[in-house]
A = this chain, B = another copy of it.
Amino acid sequence: MPDDMARPLVRGGGGSRHLEASLSEPGAPVVGILGTGDFSRSLARRLVASGYQVVVGSRNPKRLSALFPEEAEVMSQLEAAGHADLVFVAVFPEHHSTLSQLKPALAGKTLVDVSNGLQINRDGPSNAQQLADLFPESFVVKGFNTISAWTLQTGPRDGSRQVFLCSDHHKAKSAVTQLCRRMGFVPVDMGFLSSSLEIENIPFYLFPSWHIPILCTLALFIFFYLYNFTRDVLHPYITERKSVFYKMPIETVNVTLPSVALVMLALVYLPGLSASYLQLWRGTKYSLFPNWLDRWLTRRKQFGLCSFLCAVLHAVYSLSLPMRKSARYKLLTAAFKQVKQGVEDSWVDEEVWRMELYLSVGIMALGLLSLLAVTSLPSVANAVNWREFSFIQSTLGYGALFMATLHTLLFGWDRAFSWDQYRFYLPPTFLLVLILPLGALLGRLALVLPCVALRLRQIRRGWERSQYIRFTLTDGGCHDRLEDASAV
């Protein structure tokens, strides 16, 4: 849990491990670096360790060479540009123009632009495109900007780190791709230099796919919290002058969290259902979904994980209920009353069954949700095949939704039918919560009806209501991946 990466990464001259290597293999390829910051130094060190000869171009070679591994030669910028065929440009983009004197020396060479901007840039041109304009006779490749100096130093043990590359020059990109791989990174080809704007924006993203799910969770939380506060805290205060404000930090939160969790879980499955119904209605899969549905479909994992977080917090809050002083005081008061009234046993069988059942079902729902959450981890998701993934996310997922809905129904029991539950005419919270999940479950159930299921399968297999060629296939086992040749 690092606070910052501010410490000097390269221990200058401490390269005892590579003492022998300092003569460098004569045949090793030469790579140049312009710039002498943290990034340059880490890059030089990594390149040397990967068997490259490194020349560093600096305005002040004498003063700074001590900071570089001794196998790397620090020289003037012009000399460095002359020595290497592949040159990393590691100076701030606002100073790219100071390099223009190197233009003849860099002509016909590959320049790797590793720079980032100061903020997100939506309009272009990108730093890399500006560099390409500045050096029209060089071959500019964008890349490595998403890699920190820190990763460059510690990388090879750390697993696969992706490097996004793009360039308009196929050969130059190939060369950088190879170098990248030899350094232990995983190159990802992003196409032409026009993608460089996107690549330069990557470091500025702050969980873009989480914005809507988190906002959604917060909005639901605030709504349900206020609703429960009104019913459970404000109502007794106003009607009976009974102060139960102590419920605010735990009890009110704890009835709010499961509401948010269940609604969010329903929101995971509603977009898929909407898509299916839209396809049934349109009679084809070849027209695009509306934009909002498209974006919603790609956020389902995030919605699911927000739901899981709320569910886990609900579990922890619930488990902590009996340890509170308030629970203890209430129990002692109840014991006192029971003794005073001479009631030996106040056992109510219905209450007992209700609680045993909804607890039990709730724990099972949480167990299923946990399995779903674990399979959302990238390394686990990568280890399962398509059928396994869809089994978990669809079959287990609807199982979890069903269990969570049942948990809420059992919690509600018959309270929807007792008038004193409608405080301030507000229905009990669980009634509001159940709308979407019940809708999702019924909607899913309708899709299982044989006639509907068959038609949907046909559509997913390429059938179109309005099409000139009609054909029917009886099995969708191919996972909707291929086009029937007769429609080609």
CA separation between A143 and B487, bound complex, in Å?
23
Task: Say if the beta carbon of A273 comes within 8 Å of chain B.
Answer: yes
Query: In whole angstroms, what is the CA distance A192 to B182 when docked?
Result: 13
Complex interface: chain B residues within 8 A of A287 (CB): 8
Contact with B along A309-349 (1 / 0, CB 8 A): 10001011111111111101101111111111001111111
Is the pair A194, B18 in contact by a Cβ cutoff of 8 Å?
yes
Within 8 A of B (CB), among A245-292: 246-250, 253, 268-269, 271-273, 275-276, 279, 285-289
Cα-based distance from A335 to B7 in the complex (angstroms): 60
A458 within 8 A of B: no
Q: Determine the chain B residues whose CB is within 8 A of the CB of A386 once the complex forms.
A: 146, 148, 203
Q: A194-B17, A289-B8, A378-B380 are in contact. Are A316 and B313 (CB under 8 A)?
A: no
Identify the stretch in A216-224, A230-238, A352-360, A414-422 within 8 Å (CB) of chain B at 4 or more residues.
A352-360
Interface check A294, CB cutoff 8 A: yes
Q: Are B195 and A17 in touch, CB under 8 angstroms? A: yes
Chain A, residues 2-40, CB within 8 Å of chain B (1/0): the string is 111111100110000111110001011000001111111
Chain B residue at smallest Cβ distance from A39: B481
Tell yes or no: A472 within 8 A of B by CB.
Answer: no
A481 contacts which chain B residues (CB < 8 A)? Answer: 37-39, 114, 116, 148-149
Instruction: Tell me which residues across on chain B come within 8 A of A425, comparing CB atoms.
Output: none
Q: Which of A300, A324, A372 has the most CB of B within 10 A?
A: A324
**Interface assignment of A115: CB less than 8 Å from any CB of chain B:** yes
B301 touches A159 (CB 8 A): no
> Please, which residues of chain B bring their CB within 8 A of the CB of A40?
483
Is B188 in contact with A156, judged by CB distance below 8 angstroms?
yes
Q: Are A344 and B353 in contact (CB under 8 A)?
A: no
Contacts of A35 in B (CB 8 A): 482-483, 485, 488
Residue of B nearest to A98 (CB): B485
- A162 an interface residue at 8 Å Cβ cutoff? yes
Contacts A320-B359, A379-B378 given: A488-B36 contact, CB under 8 Å? Answer: yes
A387 near B: Cβ within 8 Å?
yes
| Given known A-B contacts A27-B170, A115-B482, A3 and B37 have beta carbons under 8 A apart | no
Residues of chain B within 8 A of A301, CB atoms compared:
1-2
User: Given the complex, which residues of B lie within 8 Å of A466, measured CB to CB?
Assistant: none
